[in-house]
Structure 1
Amino acid sequence: MLATVTGAIQQALSSPSLLRRHIPVAKRPFFALDLALIALGCRCAWLVDVTVVQDAEQVYADFLRFLCQGHGAIFENVRHIYEASSQQSFFFNTQLCRELVRSISDDTAYVRFVFLKQHGEPELLKHPPPDVLSALLTLSETQELPPSLAQHTLIPLAGVLLGYPVAYVPDSISESSTFLAQVPLDVYTCHARSPSWTSPHTFLKFSCPAVLVDREQIVASLMVRFEPRLDELGIRLDVAYSREVMDRVAL
């Protein structure tokens, strides 16, 4: 099934009227695989990081429409959203988004929210921020982001959608903001592997303040959440981590 879906996406990427001129040939397999993992319900959302597309909303709408014409049942739950302030595109799975709303509302989601202060130590929040939950609910119902979301809402919302088990919630952001400077961080890299691939594929990469959450808990939550979905496709998930200290962390 994975090969069929990635093949359909790569074929669509080669269409002269769609994305062929936007995405270099060498990057199309990575684009196709990441989008296929969304369509097949392996993860809720993917931030498009292999290209920048002008008129992204129209281009990706046409692209998804083309995919649905030939493979409607597979791509019917896939939507594109564009965040104007950061000029970033996300593809997300509407069914998984609704499930995510329910799990976070019941405090059963595999995600921890870390409050970041300009001055002071990061701390775990006991409950999801109401503004993040509200934005996620709006997205699941309307398939659009609420307008004019503040950065302290957008940043954790993106983390939740992308499947990070840790979502950062900054108290405020300005050009001079610095977060997690010289704070020991556990940096996790999740690789998806298949016997048919020549190299592993980076599935997720995120960080967490080392003092807040035990590594074994993070790894266990990742396996419980993603391993069954990937296993159905013959994909193995490997999680590696390292301890790093940085001058600042980009959010």
Structure 2
Amino acid sequence: MLTGKHCVITGAAQGIGRAIVETFVEQGATKIYALDRNIDNMQDWQTDAVIVPVALDVCDQDAVANWVQTLHQQHAVIDILVNNAGITRDNLLTKMSESDWDAVIDVNLKGVFTMTQAIAPLMIAQERGAIVSLSSVVGTDGNIGQTNYAASKGGVIAMTKTWSKELARHGAQIRANCVAPGFIETPMTANLPDKVIEMMKGKTPLGRMGTAQDIANAISFLASDNASFITGQTLKVDGGLVI
């Protein structure tokens, strides 16, 4: 349960991010700052007493710093940070453009760094907190046509391991973990050809695609006090795709 927790969730407008927000509400969170570049998809949350939609680009360091400074001035407590925002720009190595490389690294890696760097001082002052970042099985095992995505998600794992050591110094109960999804039903996979979907299901021992809820459940566990002795870990939620 997340009763009484104050949370920041990035990439919250759709897919996995929306499922995380709704799961945190169900788990009893007191305040959820739901961040995304575009909050048009959050209109149904505008009157929610728990969810606060925030239009924010995780790649904009100044904007992120200013927003977090506002939270600090309001004496806000942030118990949980979920770094979910991410994009893909797939292509083979020999055909990948510099702009596609830069875009993915900027959102998936720099964005996670930027948000965590801004929020971490609040957690350090509190001497407690939980950071859960979205990686991918592609970040642990690679995938054809995803050099940029693999690099970004592998980097998230490396940063997470570092933060689990760095932020817990001097006895602070600050934990950092990753969730690495496998093949999940999201807007990113909605336009894939049926033959690709069936092929990936065939490679997954549990015989299906994962759901956004599957990922949200894993994140809510790692963010909760039930995982109070788990840090620096990467939890694969992939139906056995990568064993």
**TM-score between the two structures when normalised by the length of structure 1:** 0.25
Higher relative contact order (CA 8 A, sep 6+): 2
Structure exhibiting the larger radius of gyration computed from Cα positions? 1
Q: What TM-score does the superposition give when structure 2 sets the normalisation length?
A: 0.26
